[in-house]
Structure 1
Amino acid sequence: MKINLISDTVAKPSKAMLEAMMQAEVGDDVFKEDPTVNTLENKVANMFGKEAALFFPSGTMANQTAIKLHTNPGDQLICDKYSHIYNYEGGGVSFNSGVCCKLLDGDRGMVTAVQVEEAINPPDFYHSPLTTLVSIENTANKGGGACWEFSELEKIKNVCKTNNLRYHLDGARLWNALVSKGETPKQYGACFDTISVCLSKGLGCPVGSVLVGSKDAMNKALRIRKIFGGGMRQSGYLAAAGIYALDNNIERLKKDHDKAKEIGKILSTLSFIKKVEPIETNIVIFEIDENYKSETEFINQLSKHGVLLIGMGQGKLRIVTHLDYTKEQHEAFLSILLSLK
């Protein structure tokens, strides 16, 4: 039995999702004439209470578009040191936008409004980069799928408003946070200038992310997406998967969260596990005791049992539960963990 826990991106479209894709009415989206893409964009914009949305082939492109939308070359954005936009987007912040990052030392990828305020450069001090954007990530991937307290996000919004900064949310796994915390998309739409949400992680779509914001911002984002090469043609087939996922696959994320927590409980009982990060959603991050085995040896040992996972560097390992991780696989994996010595 192969058990792939590398990421929630490994999940494949279900039969029902594939049927929805095959039945999609399509057109040329570069001319904004794909009716299914238009439906998806309107649907996501309405969910968040925003004026408009734009469909992207990837979350990285959506985030990079938002950064370019809100900044000028030489500007500075503020984010946590664990942020995806800094660690896992190929240096796109500097390459695409000519922007530098002010990295904050938060708690599992989450910072405070006080930290943000202290990091803002004086706008009249031309020797330092002009701070123009704050970007946060919810859930925080490298922080173990951690969920922000919404009250802190609102405090950061007030800091941004007071200091004339733009506010972006990398919401690749925001759906997980919404389910875990009992929050609504409209709460987030009212808080942020732009939000990117992923359809190909917990929701099980083959491809796609959506960026939401004001109508003016999305008109500008359309040009940036073109520059980045993100225009797609009959992408309604992909958009149909997104519509199906939004209608059917959000509430079931709780099952992924429950499985992740059960894995964490087992890991915590094993003598060779040094630390398990708190688990709120579908990501489990843990560390192996340095006296036991190396990170690579442990990954290889699990691979022999048919279990795939990845390292995140600095001795941290990651497990991600998802739509295709079945109850049978879950029970088998827990047994494998208990058998390790």
Structure 2
Amino acid sequence: MIDLRSDTVTRPTPAMRRAMAEAEVGDDVYGEDPTVNRLQERAAEIFDKEAALFVPTGSMGNQIAVKLHTSPGSEVIIEERGHIFNFEMAAMAVISGALARPVRSRDGSGHLTWDEIEAALHAGGPYYIAPTRLIALENTHNLAGGTVMPRAQMEEICRRAHALGIPVHLDGARIFNAAVALGETVAALAGPADSVMFCLSKGLGAPVGSMLLGSREFIEEARRWRKLLGGGMRQAGVLAAAALVALEETPPRLFEDHLKARRLAEGLAELPGVSVDLERVVTNIVICDLSGARKDAATVCARLRERGVLASSFGDRIRFVTHYDISREDIEKALRAFREALH
């Protein structure tokens, strides 16, 4: 199967498997796993943050951050298609007692401007308004099609939020893809944020895990919450070893995934009734709209599966995500299958 549902489906490379087999391990709940410790130190170094914490999933990393930045009865401003709001099972309400204040980006990019955020702020208001305690951003933005937030926009939001005493958390699940697309470092893109989460198991290709980064004090408290939420792992070095390989070896080749996504987008855009916003295809996610073709996206995905291609449907839209297990030949096969599935 040509699996374009997500970049979470990648399989560990031979180098990752070797590293896992040879990993030096200890008990990470005691802070004694040397490979996990190396991973955390290296991630903090790359992002120019004081400390980092290895967590089983990106959702756990995001939700620990929300918990530490907010208090029950407060609000989190987030773009209305944000992952934390839509795909983390209402965890901010369950775990933190916080309420999402979803805001749509007017330009459709998925990335809020300060003006859009400011209009939704509840700071210093009367007692019947829930106060804003956190601004949550996402880069790249998944449901907007892998779009990227420029460094200057991130810096302005953080500067203005901090002037009001409001922290900013960055869901940087695919921040390395954003950095490649923008020609920036991940440290530059994530630096102004109070905390950042990035995934090792998406485009970077590690089998399991994400990282949460912030101040030393923040990460110490995050470690406690990781344990409370059931995320304290023991000899996790076997996972951290693969993550270290992914962190060092995969970023330089992410541009290949972007080129494959671009080819897929251009091929889809040539098909009658299929709409793709080519200007926004800058990373490894392609979203096409089938409303013009008057086709049901779920039905088309079922037909694609019959032809050996997996993709994800969302209403009238289909999402494709490229990754290192997908070749350029796979892209051409997927395009041929899509043409057949439309008829």
The TM tier, using the shorter chain, reads: over 0.9
1:173-322 correspondence runs (5 A): 173-276=174-277, 278-289=280-291, 292-313=294-315, 315-322=316-323
Partner of 1:103: 102
Count of aligned positions? 339
State the percentage of identical aligned residues. 41
Contact 1:276–1:287 at 8 Å: present in 2 too?
no
Given residue 313 of structure 2, which amino acid in structure 1 is its aligned partner?
A: G
CA deviations 1:147-185 (Å, max 9, x no partner) are: 011111111011211110011000000010011111112
1:1-341 correspondence runs (5 A): 2-106=1-105, 107-276=108-277, 278-289=280-291, 292-313=294-315, 315-339=316-340, 340-341=342-343
Query: Relative to structure 1, is the Cα distance of residues 274 and 334 closer, same or farther in structure 2, using a 3 angstrom cutoff?
Result: closer
SS at match of 2:212: strand
Contact 1:78–1:102 at 8 Å: present in 2 too?
yes
Contact 2:53–2:211 at 8 Å: present in 1 too?
yes
CA-CA distance at 1:290 after TM superposition: 5.3
**In 2, Cα distance between equivalents of 1:5 and 1:116:** 33
SS at match of 1:191: coil
**In 1, Cα distance between equivalents of 2:249 and 2:293:** 45
CA deviations 1:198-232 (Å, max 9, x no partner) are: 00000111100000000000011111111111100
Contact 1:3–1:306 at 8 Å: present in 2 too?
yes
CA-CA distance at 1:188 after TM superposition: 3.1
**In 1, Cα distance between equivalents of 2:191 and 2:119:** 24
**In 2, Cα distance between equivalents of 1:188 and 1:110:** 14
SS at match of 2:72: coil
**In 2, Cα distance between equivalents of 1:226 and 1:13:** 26
**In 2, Cα distance between equivalents of 1:142 and 1:253:** 19
CA-CA distance at 1:190 after TM superposition: 2.6
SS at match of 2:12: coil
TM norm structure 1? 0.96
CA deviations 1:103-126 (Å, max 9, x no partner) are: 111123111011111211132422
CA deviations 1:249-294 (Å, max 9, x no partner) are: 1111111100101111011110031444620100001111355321
Question: What RMSD over aligned residues (CA atoms) do the two structures have, in Å?
Answer: 1.3
TM norm structure 2? 0.96
Given residue 192 of structure 1, which amino acid in structure 2 is its aligned partner?
A: A
CA-CA distance at 1:317 after TM superposition: 1.0
**In 1, Cα distance between equivalents of 2:27 and 2:248:** 24
Contact 1:76–1:99 at 8 Å: present in 2 too?
yes
SS at match of 1:323: coil
Given residue 263 of structure 1, which amino acid in structure 2 is its aligned partner?
A: L
Contact 1:82–1:108 at 8 Å: present in 2 too?
no
**In 2, Cα distance between equivalents of 1:54 and 1:302:** 39
Structure 2 spans left out of the alignment, 5+ residues? none
CA-CA distance at 1:189 after TM superposition: 4.2
Contact 2:51–2:215 at 8 Å: present in 1 too?
yes
**In 2, Cα distance between equivalents of 1:264 and 1:326:** 15
**In 2, Cα distance between equivalents of 1:44 and 1:274:** 39
**In 2, Cα distance between equivalents of 1:296 and 1:167:** 36
Contact 1:144–1:285 at 8 Å: present in 2 too?
yes
Residues 122-131 or 163-172, more deviating: 122-131
CA-CA distance at 1:29 after TM superposition: 0.1
Structure 1 spans left out of the alignment, 5+ residues? none
SS at match of 2:251: coil
**In 1, Cα distance between equivalents of 2:81 and 2:293:** 27
**In 2, Cα distance between equivalents of 1:122 and 1:326:** 50
CA deviations 1:59-106 (Å, max 9, x no partner) are: 000000000010000011111001000000000010110000111111
Contact 2:274–2:293 at 8 Å: present in 1 too?
no
Contact 2:179–2:189 at 8 Å: present in 1 too?
no
Contact 1:74–1:99 at 8 Å: present in 2 too?
yes
